[in-house]
């Protein structure tokens, strides 16, 4: 951290700042020029540095942070990519993972049928919502535990591991009985008690970026999960709110290379929620892989016109198969390839993910 003093600051004010730095347990480096006086704060201390407190001290013009406020998520402290094992493959390696399935699990037949079609088309994991965070309380809220049981059956048939959302701390132990990856939805990215609970679970977590969250806020949210010793965190760019209304959200494609440079955690792109329209999904999926994403999470429904949620952005299975073919070509062009599909039979939940 750097403290910049006002040009008219007094010697007493400067020494008060230095004394505060020392009492917080850090070293102060004073640099005094003709016009400006700067105090560099360096070293390690158990006392957190509170920029805002220094900013209120007499004679201080501004305070600038020079290191990121997140440590466990930072590539600076952990230069190598974290690999999250998922059913024989690794999220974050040269292999690109494709998670696909319906927005909501609607029935046993629906999820088993989609899972078989996803497997056939080349998906590496199955997504499906059992607990749905809907904007309206009158919209379909999900079939709950029953849906998780149907997904577990779909996993038994296909070997595809399950990615599903958990919305509440109380649901975590139950969802862990079925899921291979716990999804934290955009609306819950800053639900800190939920982040603590999934951190403690030690289950792999797919953390979606809040629709109005900055990249730094996403990384701070990941830090909550990591701080429980749960290193199996994947980040998901799912589109942000902007002034643009032509699409449901705006895909922040910049977030992919920015995250890859700031953090060692795998980065997944959701072209479905980030566009909100099936016709744009494949183009944005290709862009995401070209930009360096480690995987995709895509919504698919055999009858989008009858879907209970997000039908407008769901691909039909044959279009999804085309997406897989195109994404595979893009992956090869950037020195990667699609992850191999799980062997069958497979995945006993919870044993599929081992620490990196």
Chain contacts with ligand PEP (rule: CB under 6 A): 103, 129, 133, 185-187, 208, 238, 273
**CA 247 to CA 244: how far, in whole Å?**
7
Q: Report whether the peptide linkage leading into residue 193 is cis, meaning its omega lies within 30 degrees of zero.
A: no
Nearer residue to Mn ion within complex by CB, 272 or 352: 272
By beta-carbon proximity to Mn ion, the closer residue of 60 and 126 is: 126
| Residue 238 binding: pick among Mn ion, ligand PEP, none (C-beta 5-8 Å cut-off by kind) | ligand PEP
- Quick one: which of 103, 147, 176, 281 contacts Mn ion (CB under 5 A)? 103
Binding range to Mn ion, per CB under 5 A, among 54-62, 144-152, 202-210, 307-315: 307-315
Residue whose CB is less far from ligand PEP, 185 or 304: 185
Contacts of 162 by beta carbon, 8 Å cutoff, 6+ apart: 125, 126, 127, 128, 148, 151, 152, 154, 155, 178, 179, 180, 181, 347, 349
The tokens describing 97, both together, are 């993972």
Q: Which uninterrupted H or E stretch holds 173?
A: helix 172-176
> Which token pair is 247?
């699409």
Using the contact rule CB under 5 A, the part of the chain among 77-85, 99-107, 201-209, 322-330 near Mn ion is: 99-107
* Nearest in space to 314 (alpha carbons), one of 331, 327, 297: 297
Helix or strand holding residue 53 (H, E): helix 51-55
Interacting partner of 143 out of ligand PEP, Mn ion, none (Cβ under 5 to 8 A depending on kind): none
Closest separation in Å from C-beta 238 to ligand PEP: 4
103/211 with CB nearer Mn ion: 103
Q: Which residues contact 323 (CB under 8 A, 6 or more apart)?
A: 281, 282, 285, 298, 315
Q: How far is the CB of 166 from ligand PEP (least distance, A)?
A: 12
Q: Which does 142 bind (CB under 5 to 8 A by kind): ligand PEP, Mn ion, none?
A: none
Nearest residue to ligand PEP, scored by beta-carbon proximity: 185
If binding is defined by CB under 5 A, does position 270 make contact with Mn ion? no
Nearer to Mn ion, 95 or 132 (CB): 132
Closest distance to ligand PEP from the beta carbon of 292 (Å): 20
Q: Considering the rule CB under 5 A, would residue 310 count as an interface residue with Mn ion?
A: yes
Which stretches of the chain are assigned E, i.e. beta strand? 2-5, 27-32, 37-42, 60-64, 84-86, 89-91, 95-101, 125-127, 162-165, 181-184, 205-208, 233-237, 267-269, 295-299, 337-338
The interface partner of residue 95, options being ligand PEP, Mn ion, none and the CB cut-off 5 to 8 Å by kind, is: none
C-alpha distances in Å from residue 155, one per residue of 97, 112, 187: 16, 8, 27
Nearer Cβ to ligand PEP (238/301): 238
In the list Mn ion, ligand PEP, none, the entry touching 208 (Cβ below 5 to 8 angstroms by class) is ligand PEP
Q: Closer CB to ligand PEP, residue 86 or residue 103?
A: 103
Give one DSSP letter per residue of 216-242, joined into a string: HHHHHHHHHHHTTT---EEEEE--B--
Contact set for Mn ion, span 113-172 (CB under 5 A):
none
> Which residue's CB comes closest to Mn ion?
103
CB 99 within 8 A of CB 298: yes
Q: Is 223 in the site for Mn ion (CB under 5 A)?
A: no
- Tell me whether strands 267-269 and 295-299 are parallel, antiparallel or unpaired: parallel
Report the DSSP beta bridge partners of residue 104. 129
Q: How many CB atoms lie within 10 A of CB 77?
A: 12
Between 129 and 159, CB nearer to ligand PEP: 129
Q: Which residues bind Mn ion (CB under 5 A)?
A: 103, 310
């Amino acid at each position: 951290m750097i403290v910049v003093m006002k040009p008219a600051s007094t010697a007493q004010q400067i020494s008060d700042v230095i004394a505060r730095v020392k009492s917080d347990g850090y070293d102060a480096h004073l640099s005094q020029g003709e016009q400006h006086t700067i105090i560099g704060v360096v070293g390690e201390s158990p006392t957190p540095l509170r920029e805002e407190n220094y900013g209120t001290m007499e004679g201080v013009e501004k305070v600038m942070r020079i290191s990121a406020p997140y440590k466990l998520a930072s590539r600076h402290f952990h230069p190598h990519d974290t690999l999250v094992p998922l059913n024989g493959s690794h999220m974050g390696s040269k292999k690109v993972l494709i998670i696909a399935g319906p927005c909501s699990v609607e029935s046993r037949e629906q999820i088993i049928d989609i899972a078989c079609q996803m497997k056939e088309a080349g998906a590496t994991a199955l997504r499906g919502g059992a607990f749905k965070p809907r904007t309206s309380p009158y919209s379909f809220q999900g079939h709950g535990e029953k849906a998780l049981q149907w997904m577990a059956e779909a996993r038994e048939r296909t070997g595809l591991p399950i990615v599903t959302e958990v919305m509440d701390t109380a649901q975590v132990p139950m969802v862990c009985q079925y899921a291979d990856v716990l999804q934290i939805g955009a609306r819950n990215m800053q639900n800190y008690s939920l982040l603590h609970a999934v951190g403690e679970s030690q289950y792999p977590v797919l953390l979606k970026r809040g629709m109005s969250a900055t990249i730094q806020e996403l990384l701070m949210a990941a830090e909550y999960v990591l701080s429980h010793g749960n290193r199996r965190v994947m980040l998901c760019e799912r589109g942000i709110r902007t002034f643009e209304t032509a699409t449901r959200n705006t895909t922040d494609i910049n977030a992919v290379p920015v995250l890859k440079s700031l953090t060692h955690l795998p980065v997944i792109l959701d072209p479905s929620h980030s566009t909100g329209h099936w016709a744009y999904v494949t183009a944005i999926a290709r862009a995401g892989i070209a930009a360096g994403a480690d995987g995709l999470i895509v919504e698919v429904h055999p009858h989008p016109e009858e879907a209970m949620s997000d039908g407008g952005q769901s691909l039909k299975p044959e279009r999804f198969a085309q997406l897989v073919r195109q994404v595979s070509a893009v992956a090869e062009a950037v020195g990667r390839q699609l992850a191999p599909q799980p062997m069958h039979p497979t995945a006993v939940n919870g044993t599929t993910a081992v620490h990196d």
